[in-house]
Amino acid sequence: MNPDNSHRDTRTPSPPYGYSCECTYSREQQIHIVAEFHAHKIRPSRIAYRVGIDIAFIEELIAGETESGRFAQLVKFYRKGRYQQRLRETQKSTGVTRYELQQKIEREYEQEVDL
């Protein structure tokens, strides 16, 4: 064990057996699922619980330790889709309410893009 603990893995271990469902997705599908959930601001522990993907793998993807460039592009793609979906949903509103919702969505999207 490293005495200075500088290389200690601080990620949360996988949930205990029975805590989440078993993952039946390929690695490629897992990357897409995590990117989409991350774009929708779903917590890593919730992703692991809902889909059964190993939480350590989820945290590696989000931290950029694995598939960093590709994962970032997928998150960007899914964020853009989420942005467009939210804008379409504002069509149900009218007038000032609609305008304010659109402005809020655009501000949030710009903040996410800057991340």
| 18 within 8 A of 46, measured Cβ to Cβ | no
Q: Which range has highest mean pLDDT (9-18, 54-63, 104-113)?
A: 54-63
pLDDT tens digits, 41-57: 899 988 888 888 988 99
State the average pLDDT over residues 103-115: 84
The candidate with the shortest Cα–Cα distance to 25, out of 53, 59, 66, 62, is 53
Q: Provide the b/e sequence for 74-88 (b: ≥16 CB within 10 Å).
A: bbeebbeebbeebee
What is the C-alpha separation between 36 and 50, in angstroms, rounded?
Answer: 13
Question: What is the pTM assigned to this prediction?
Answer: 0.70
